[in-house]
Chain A
Amino acid sequence: MKRTLLLLVVITNLLAASSACLAESRPRYGGSVRILLRHKVTSLDPLSESDDPATRDRVAGLMFETLTQIDAEGHTRAKLASAWQADAGNRDWIFTLRQASFHDHSEINSASVAASLRSVSPDWKITVNSQQTFTIETPSPAPHLPELLALPRYAIIKRLPGDVLLGTGPYTLAEWQPGEHVLLAANDDYWNGRPFPDSIDFRTGLSLREHLLERNLTLDHAAEPSPDQLRSLEQANQTLLLSRPADMLLVFFPEPGAKPRKAVDPRLREALSSAINRATINNVLLQRKGVPAGGLLPQWLTGWEFLFPASQDMERGRRLRADANSTQPLSLIYDSSDPVMKMVAERIAVDAREAGILVQTFGDPHSNSRSGRATLNADAILLRVALSSLDATAALTELADELALPADTVSAIVKASRPEELVEIERSALADYRLVPVVRLPQALWLNSNVHEWQQLPNGEWRLDQLWVEGSR
C-alpha cells in the first residue's frame, strides 16, 4: 500500500509539469522521441528468434516495410506495393511496386523484392515480370495473401554481407547496442515524406517503474507500464493507451520430441483446462483489464470465440483426472522476466490442485522464444503470444507458426476463404488440449502529454507514421 502510494505521489509530481502543454493541432517537425521498452531487443531482423517478437517488430517496422499493411479500420492498404490482383483461383498474384528506395539509395525493384520474399517463403514461385511488377505463385490458393504480406516477417529487406540489413522505411538505423539501445534517424528521402521527428531513441529492457524511481520520466515520451501500474497511472490522470485484449496467455504442452519427456495424458490436459478459473485470473490478478480466453483468436476480432467456452468445470476436471489415473506432478514453466506470468502460473497451480492435479511451477527467462523452450524439459509452458495481425487469417497463420502447429494446419489456414473454415481449424487445433488458452491481456502504453498522433491499433501494434512531439520545429 505504502509502495503504491509512493508510486502515485512520484507519478503525480513528476508528470504534472509535463501536462501543462501548449495547444496546437498541426504537426511539428523535429525533436527526438525517447521510448522505453520493457523487453530487450537483441536482433532487428524480423526473421530472427526473439523472446518478444512484438517488441522487435515495433522497432524494426520503422526501418523495414512490407508490401501491404492493415490499417486501423482493418482494411488492407498499399505500402511498397501500389497495386495487386489475383487470378480466379487465388494462386497467381501480380504485384506492382511503387517508386521507393532502400536506405543505401538504391531503388527497390521486382528482383530485390523477390529475393527478400524467397528468404521467407521458399515454396513460393516468384517471377519477375518487369522492373516494377512481379508474380507470386503459391502452392495452394491463398485468398488472403495481401493480408499475409502485411506480417512483419514479409518485410522487404536488402541483405548485405556482414549481416547488414537495409530497409525502405521512414527511419534508418543510426546507433545500436543490442539489448540496450536503438537510435533511429529520420530518412529524409522517404517515399512518403520525411517523418516529423528527427530521431527515435529506444531504450530497451527498462521498466517504467525504474524510471519513476530515478525521477527522470519527464525526459521520456512513451513507456510500457506493467498491469499493476495501470491503476496508479489512471489515478494520476496520465495518458494511457490500452489496446483491446490482444496478447494471449496459454498453457502449451509441447510435443515430446528429442527430450526424454513422457507425453502428458490428453485427459489430464483436458482436466487442467476444465479446472482453470479464468474469470478469477482476470478479475483478481489482472484487475479486470483482460478477458478469459477459450479460443485462439479473440472474440473482439472474430466474433466467434464464444464457440470455445472458457468457463471453469471443476467436476469435469476431477472426473478426467480420475480417469487418467495419474499422480505424476506436471511441470509448468513461465517467463520469469514477466511478473504477470508468474502470478498466472501460480494461480493455475492452485486451481489444478483443487482438481487433484499437482502442478509445479518454474521460472525461466527464455521460455517465450521457440528456441528457448525447445531446450526446456517441461510438461507445459505458459506462453504469452501477441496478436500479430488485425486479419483473422494472418493472425492465425502467425499463431500456428509460433506454436509450431503441423504444416497441414498452416496450409489449411492459408487456403481458408470462409470464416467457418477458420472456426474448424481452431476447433481441431484445440481438440487435443495441447493448447489451453487462459486469458487475454491488453497492451498498455504511457504517453507524455507532449506526444501527438501516436496511433495504437486494436491489437497493440504501433503506427508512428504521423507521430510528432512538442518542443520542436
Chain B
Amino acid sequence: MDIFLCSSVSFVVNRLSSVSCQRQHRRRAPCYTSPFPSMLQATIRSYLHLSAFLLLIAFATSHAQQPLPSPLADAAGLFAQEILSHNGLPETVMVSFNNLSSLSPSDQSAATDAILARLRSAGVHVVRADAAAELQVTFSEDWQGLIWVATFKQASQSNASRVLIKKIARPQRTASLQSAAVTLQKTLILSQGAPILDLIRDDQTLLVLEPEQISIYQNDSGRWKFVSALPVAHDHSWPRDLRGRLQGTARQFTAFLPGTLCTGTISPPQMQCRHSDDPWQVDRNQLAFFSSSRNFFTGVLAGQNAGASVPPFFSAAAWQNGDKRLWLFAGTDGKARLYQSTLTSEPVIQTDWGSDLVAVHSGCSSGWQILVSSSSSSHSDSIQGMEIVNGGAVPVSMALEISGAVRALWPSGEENMAANAVVESATGKYEAYALTVSCNH
C-alpha cells in the first residue's frame, strides 16, 4: 500500500461530562454620582462606542473566517448511522480513522468529526485501548469516487470482522473563466445526453437538431421546457462524427444532414425529410456541398461562388472587410486556407488551428473576428478570437477554455449572439452554448 498517502489518526474521546454553564446573575450596581467631568465622560462614551464597534467587526470577521461546513459532513453522519445500525456497536469501542484517499485534511477532519459526533450522540463511548470492540473507518477511493469502509472487530473473535462499504460522491470543484482584450463569453443554453448538432432559438422557442429528431422546447419562466420532437427520417446509417445544420427561424426551419434535407414548422409541428444533396448554408455568405457519407464539405461551392472549388474542408467563413472579400476554410488536411479578394488567389496557410471556425461581426476593432477552435485533441478544448491583419491571423482574445471537446461551431442567426458552440463534456454530455464577443475599451 505504499502508493497511498496514509495518515492514521486515533481518537480518544473520554466520556464527556456534560458541561452546564450556570448563568451568572448580575446584581444591579448602586448608583453613584459621576466623578468625571462631562467632557471626559463624552470621550469615554465615544471610546466605548468605538470599542463596541471594533468588537462587532472583529466578531463578524472571525465569524466569516469559520470554515464552511464540508459537503461530506452530512454523508459522514449518514455513514455513522449505517455503522450503528449495521454493526450494533457495543457501549465502548475503540475507533480509528485511516485516509487512503485524496480527501483534503479539512474534508477528512469534517468527516471524522461528524462520524464521532453521531457515534457519541448514540451513546457510544470511544476509547483509545482496552475495548472489547474495534471500529476502523478507512477513507478510501476507487477510480470514480470516494469509498468509505468501516471494519468492525470484536476482541473475542480475532479473525472475524464485519465490513460496511459506502460509495460517496467526490466534492465538486469549480473553475473560473479568464478574460482579455476582446472578450469571448459563453452562456449555457442546454445540456443533455443526446448529441446536439445545431440549434436555433428565439425568445419563446428553442429547436435542437439531434441525430434522430428535432426537439422543440418552449420558454417556461426562463427555463427551456421540452414540448415535443419531430423524427428525422433517413434511409441510410449516419456517418461517424455526424454533423448537421439547422437554419431558418424557430417557426419555420430547414435541417441539413448528410444526404438528407428536412423542412418543417412548429405550428403546426410537422416536418418532411427527403434524400438530398442540396448545398448547406455554411456561413451567411457561403453555400457549399456536404459529403453524404462523411463529415466534411466536398470543397465544391455554391451560391455566389457556384462553380468554384477549394480543397475539402470542415468549416468555412466568408466576410467583407472594407472593399476586400475574404474566405477562410478549415481543410480536412489540417490546414486553414485564407483567400483574399478571389478564390483563385494563392491562399495563406495556417496550420495550428482546429477544424471549426466561424466569422462574427462584433463591430470591435476591425469589425470582424474569426472564432477558432483549438487544435488540441485532448478532452479540454478552447475557442479563441482572431483577426486577419496584413494577410495574417492575429489573436485578439484570450482563449475561452472549454471543458470538453468542441463538436460544432456554427454562426448564430440571432441578434447580438456571435455563434453557437456544442461541446461534448468529459462526462459524455452535450452542452450547447451561445458565444458572444464584447469589446474591451
B220-257 near A? 1/0 per residue, CB < 8 Å:
00000000000000000111111000000000000000
A20-50 near B? 1/0 per residue, CB < 8 Å:
0111111111000000000000000000000
Residue B2 at the chain A interface, CB threshold 8 Å = yes
> In the complex, which residues of chain A have a beta carbon less than 8 angstroms from the beta carbon of B3?
291
Residue B144 at the chain A interface, CB threshold 8 Å = yes
Identify the closest chain A residue to B243 (Cβ): A26
Identify the closest chain A residue to B408 (Cβ): A26
Say how far A75's CB is from chain B's closest CB, in angstroms: 8
| Cα(A336)–Cα(B332), bound, Å | 47
A280-293 near B? 1/0 per residue, CB < 8 Å:
00000000000110
| Cα(A196)–Cα(B294), bound, Å | 9
> In the complex, which residues of chain B have a beta carbon less than 8 angstroms from the beta carbon of A27?
240-241, 295
Q: Are B163 and A73 in contact (CB under 8 A)?
A: no
Residue A148 at the chain B interface, CB threshold 8 Å = no
Choose among A190, A191, A419 the residue that contacts B165 (Cβ–Cβ < 8 A). A419
| Cα(A167)–Cα(B405), bound, Å | 31
Say how far B31's CB is from chain A's closest CB, in angstroms: 70
| Cα(A27)–Cα(B334), bound, Å | 10
Q: Are B142 and A300 in contact (CB under 8 A)?
A: yes
Q: Are B163 and A303 in contact (CB under 8 A)?
A: no
Q: Are A73 and B427 in contact (CB under 8 A)?
A: yes
**Which residues 407-441 of A sit at the B interface, judged by CB distance below 8 A?**
418-420, 423-424
Q: Are A304 and B237 in contact (CB under 8 A)?
A: no
Q: Are B100 and A306 in contact (CB under 8 A)?
A: yes
A302-320 near B? 1/0 per residue, CB < 8 Å:
1110110111000000000
Q: Are B165 and A26 in contact (CB under 8 A)?
A: no
Residue A364 at the chain B interface, CB threshold 8 Å = no
Residue A56 at the chain B interface, CB threshold 8 Å = no
Say how far A30's CB is from chain B's closest CB, in angstroms: 9
Residue A259 at the chain B interface, CB threshold 8 Å = no
> In the complex, which residues of chain A have a beta carbon less than 8 angstroms from the beta carbon of B296?
26, 473
Q: Are B1 and A306 in contact (CB under 8 A)?
A: yes
| Cα(A364)–Cα(B198), bound, Å | 58
Identify the closest chain A residue to B138 (Cβ): A306
Choose among A23, A74, A466 the residue that contacts B352 (Cβ–Cβ < 8 A). A23
Q: Are A26 and B427 in contact (CB under 8 A)?
A: no
**Which residues 391-431 of B sit at the A interface, judged by CB distance below 8 A?**
405-406, 427-428
Residue A89 at the chain B interface, CB threshold 8 Å = no
Q: Are A452 and B377 in contact (CB under 8 A)?
A: yes
| Cα(A99)–Cα(B121), bound, Å | 58
Residue B91 at the chain A interface, CB threshold 8 Å = no
Assuming A193-B240, A304-B147, is B293 touching A310 (CB within 8 A)?
no
B294-322 near A? 1/0 per residue, CB < 8 Å:
11100000000000000010100000000
Say how far B353's CB is from chain A's closest CB, in angstroms: 7
Identify the closest chain B residue to A283 (Cβ): B2
Q: Are A193 and B375 in contact (CB under 8 A)?
A: no
Q: Are B147 and A25 in contact (CB under 8 A)?
A: no
Q: Are A24 and B334 in contact (CB under 8 A)?
A: yes
Q: Are B149 and A304 in contact (CB under 8 A)?
A: yes
Assuming A29-B294, A303-B149, is B334 touching A190 (CB within 8 A)?
no
Q: Are B356 and A73 in contact (CB under 8 A)?
A: no
B119-156 near A? 1/0 per residue, CB < 8 Å:
00000000000000000001011111011010100000
Identify the closest chain B residue to A191 (Cβ): B237
Residue A146 at the chain B interface, CB threshold 8 Å = no
| Cα(A303)–Cα(B138), bound, Å | 10
Q: Are A420 and B406 in contact (CB under 8 A)?
A: no
Q: Are B237 and A22 in contact (CB under 8 A)?
A: no
> In the complex, which residues of chain B have a beta carbon less than 8 angstroms from the beta carbon of A452?
377
> In the complex, which residues of chain A have a beta carbon less than 8 angstroms from the beta carbon of B377?
25, 452-453
Assuming A24-B375, A26-B314, A195-B240, is B165 touching A420 (CB within 8 A)?
yes
Residue A71 at the chain B interface, CB threshold 8 Å = yes
Number of interface residues of A (CB under 8 A): 46
Say how far A130's CB is from chain B's closest CB, in angstroms: 22
| Cα(A299)–Cα(B381), bound, Å | 31
Considering residues A23, A309, A466, which has the most beta carbons from chain B within 10 angstroms of its beta carbon? A23
Q: Are A302 and B334 in contact (CB under 8 A)?
A: no
Choose among A194, A419, A420, A473 the residue that contacts B333 (Cβ–Cβ < 8 A). A473
| Cα(A419)–Cα(B146), bound, Å | 14
> In the complex, which residues of chain B have a beta carbon less than 8 angstroms from the beta carbon of A71?
428
> In the complex, which residues of chain A have a beta carbon less than 8 angstroms from the beta carbon of B333?
22, 24, 473
| Cα(A339)–Cα(B375), bound, Å | 39
Q: Are B332 and A25 in contact (CB under 8 A)?
A: no
Considering residues B143, B294, B353, B376, which has the most beta carbons from chain A within 10 angstroms of its beta carbon? B143
Say how far A461's CB is from chain B's closest CB, in angstroms: 13
Residue A279 at the chain B interface, CB threshold 8 Å = yes
Residue A470 at the chain B interface, CB threshold 8 Å = yes
Interface residue range, chain B: 35 or more
Residue A255 at the chain B interface, CB threshold 8 Å = no
Residue A385 at the chain B interface, CB threshold 8 Å = no
| Cα(A195)–Cα(B241), bound, Å | 10
Choose among A22, A195, A303, A424 the residue that contacts B335 (Cβ–Cβ < 8 A). A22
> In the complex, which residues of chain B have a beta carbon less than 8 angstroms from the beta carbon of A291?
3
Q: Are B143 and A304 in contact (CB under 8 A)?
A: no
Say how far B425's CB is from chain A's closest CB, in angstroms: 11
> In the complex, which residues of chain B have a beta carbon less than 8 angstroms from the beta carbon of A22?
333-335, 351
> In the complex, which residues of chain B have a beta carbon less than 8 angstroms from the beta carbon of A301?
142-143
| Cα(A292)–Cα(B377), bound, Å | 34
> In the complex, which residues of chain A have a beta carbon less than 8 angstroms from the beta carbon of B355?
24-26
Q: Are A420 and B142 in contact (CB under 8 A)?
A: no
Assuming A24-B355, A300-B142, A420-B164, is B239 touching A193 (CB within 8 A)?
yes
Choose among B1, B100, B163 the residue that contacts A292 (Cβ–Cβ < 8 A). B1
> In the complex, which residues of chain B have a beta carbon less than 8 angstroms from the beta carbon of A53?
none
Q: Are A303 and B141 in contact (CB under 8 A)?
A: yes
Residue A458 at the chain B interface, CB threshold 8 Å = yes
Assuming A189-B237, A193-B239, is B142 touching A303 (CB within 8 A)?
yes
> In the complex, which residues of chain A have a beta carbon less than 8 angstroms from the beta carbon of B144?
73-74
> In the complex, which residues of chain B have a beta carbon less than 8 angstroms from the beta carbon of A304?
140, 147, 149, 163, 165
Residue A221 at the chain B interface, CB threshold 8 Å = no
Say how far B200's CB is from chain A's closest CB, in angstroms: 22
> In the complex, which residues of chain A have a beta carbon less than 8 angstroms from the beta carbon of B314?
26
Q: Are B295 and A194 in contact (CB under 8 A)?
A: no
Assuming A73-B428, A307-B149, is B312 touching A473 (CB within 8 A)?
yes
| Cα(A244)–Cα(B146), bound, Å | 17
Say how far B404's CB is from chain A's closest CB, in angstroms: 12
| Cα(A71)–Cα(B376), bound, Å | 22
Identify the closest chain B residue to A278 (Cβ): B2
Q: Are A28 and B100 in contact (CB under 8 A)?
A: no
Q: Are B1 and A25 in contact (CB under 8 A)?
A: no
Choose among B242, B405, B428 the residue that contacts A25 (Cβ–Cβ < 8 A). B405
Choose among B151, B295, B352, B406 the residue that contacts A29 (Cβ–Cβ < 8 A). B295
Say how far A218's CB is from chain B's closest CB, in angstroms: 18
> In the complex, which residues of chain A have a beta carbon less than 8 angstroms from the beta carbon of B381?
25
**Which residues 151-189 of B sit at the A interface, judged by CB distance below 8 A?**
151, 163-165
Q: Are A473 and B332 in contact (CB under 8 A)?
A: yes
Say how far B104's CB is from chain A's closest CB, in angstroms: 17
| Cα(A302)–Cα(B164), bound, Å | 13
Residue B96 at the chain A interface, CB threshold 8 Å = no
> In the complex, which residues of chain A have a beta carbon less than 8 angstroms from the beta carbon of B237?
189-194
Residue B369 at the chain A interface, CB threshold 8 Å = no
Q: Are A26 and B143 in contact (CB under 8 A)?
A: no
Pull 16 A–B residue pairs with CB atoms less than 8 Å apart, ordered by A: A23-B352, A25-B355, A25-B356, A25-B377, A25-B406, A74-B143, A244-B143, A299-B140, A303-B101, A303-B146, A303-B147, A304-B140, A306-B140, A311-B1, A420-B163, A453-B377
B residues near A (Cβ < 8 Å) are 1-4, 100-101, 138, 140-144, 146-147, 149, 151, 163-165, 237-242, 293-296, 312, 314, 330, 332-335, 351-356, 373-377, 381, 405-406, 427-428
Q: A26-B314, A73-B427, A304-B163 are in contact. List 6 more A-B contacts (CB 8 A).
A: A22-B351, A24-B333, A25-B406, A303-B165, A424-B163, A466-B240
Q: Which 4 A-B pairs have the closest CB atoms?
A: A303-B147, A23-B375, A22-B334, A26-B355
